[in-house]
Amino acid sequence: MIEAPVAGTPPLERLKLKYYSLLVSYHQHKGDYLEVCRCLRAAYDTPAVFSPKRPGGAEEKKQGEETMTDEEAAIAASLMDVEGEKERASTSSSSAVPEADAALAESLLKQACWYAVLSPATSSDQRTLLEATAAEPALDAFPLYRRLLATFSGNEVVEWPAFQKLVAAEVTGPRSADVFDPATERGKARVEALQTRVTEHNVLSASRFYSRITLGRLAQLLGFFGGADGVAEAESHVARMVSDGAVRARIDRPAGVVRFLGPVAGAGGAGGAPAAATGVPISFAPDSPEELLNDWAGGIKGLLDVVERASASIAREAALHKVTLRGVV
């Protein structure tokens, strides 16, 4: 038997919004963008959030239903700006309630889009969140955000300067305070995380279209044009993603070549796109003994080449040194 709530207990919907507001703040503090996205989507799906573009939204709100109180409006404002870095005015007048609800729904949906994109590609849940958020009918009113999700769900290489120009209004404009507030360290960190996420997406895209690629060419695809520094940065990103389990690859540093062994099954980003498109899970058989032996032999050959070049250099320096000594004597 369910007991009746104590007198004065706030309605369940109000408590739910407050709960997710606190959870969002907690996960933002930890930098867990995946969980922030989950909480924002849960708040967005709360019946108290009335969106004109969704079934059960403001346009379908029945006459006589309870309107938003001052406290509920304050909770809604905290969800729109969960870090409390800006104060938003709220009102309890009946005529303003649908507008406030629509603004809350829009803010929650847009933030969910950004945090889905900011979630690390190493998580298998990241792609699920991208697809679930992209399926929202309300995104028809925000084509930029639908394009944003499609970009990170696809396999095309994303050029950072062009992408930065595309989303500049949302990242640096008046609405940037919701996610990328330049006045806070967290906001600046998210801009950097966005650039890192673009790089991860491009590495995954390269792993789908290339089996072997030079580090120099990969650095160009990733937008690193600093010569040796750019190559080193590209190698660092690949090595980190291999370590995190986001991509399967081997780096031949002496030859300056990356060999991609195929995307990791279940990983987000470009590598997992075929599974989502066909509905068939991608699986990769382990390397056969012949392949392992060939790889080992290739590695030994490369090592011997390095030793031979080093020996030749030592012999050359030794010969020059002896000639110098004879001249001195």
Q: Locate the domains of the chain by residue range.
A: 8-150
- Reduce the DSSP state of residue 247 to 3 states and report it: strand
What is the b/e burial string over 232-252, where b = at least 16 CB atoms within 10 angstroms of the residue's CB?
ebbbebbeebbeeebbbbeee
DSSP, res 44 = H
Cα dihedral: 299, 301, 302, 308 (round 10): 150
* pTM, to two decimals: 0.66
Helix (H, G, I), strand (E, B), or coil: what is residue 248? strand
Element (H, E) at 260: strand 257-263
pLDDT at 326: 56
Contacts made by residues 240-246, CB under 8 angstroms, sequence distance 24+: 241/121, 241/122, 241/200, 241/203, 244/120, 244/122, 245/122, 246/120, 246/121, 246/122, 246/200, 246/203, 246/204, 246/271
Any idea what DSSP says for residue 137? Answer: G
Using an 8 Å Cβ cutoff, are 208 and 263 in contact?
Answer: yes
* pLDDT value of residue 186: 86
pLDDT of residue 114: 92
What is the full per-residue pLDDT of the chain (329 aa) written as tens digits? 667 777 777 777 788 888 888 999 899 888 899 999 999 998 888 877 754 444 444 444 444 444 555 555 555 555 555 544 333 333 333 333 334 467 888 888 899 999 999 988 767 788 888 888 888 888 889 999 999 999 898 888 898 888 888 888 888 766 665 788 878 888 888 889 999 999 999 999 898 888 899 999 999 889 887 678 889 999 999 999 888 888 889 998 888 899 998 656 555 444 443 333 333 333 334 556 766 777 777 778 778 888 988 998 888 888 877 755 555 54
State the distance between the two ends of the chain, measured CA to CA, in whole angstroms: 106
CA 314 to chain CA centroid, nearest Å:
48
pLDDT at 26: 92
Distance CA 190, CA 180 (A): 6
The torsion angles phi and psi of 214, rounded to 5 degrees, stand at: -70, 150
Whether residue 25 contacts residue 120, with contact meaning beta carbons closer than 8 Å, is answered with no
Query: What is the rounded CA–CA span in Å between residue 176 and residue 173?
Result: 5
Count the alpha carbons within 13 Å of 123 in the hemisphere toward its beta carbon.
16
Q: How far is CA 242 from the centre of its chain?
A: 16
pLDDT score at 262 = 67
Side chain identity, residue 192: E
CA distance 94 to 305: 79
**Beta-carbon neighbour count of residue 271 at 10 Å?**
28
Nearest to 219 by CA among 252, 258, 190: 258
Q: Which one-letter amino acid corresponds to residue 71? A: E
Q: What are the angstrom distances between the C-alpha of 250 and each of 20, 54, 147, 181, 289?
A: 42, 47, 33, 38, 17
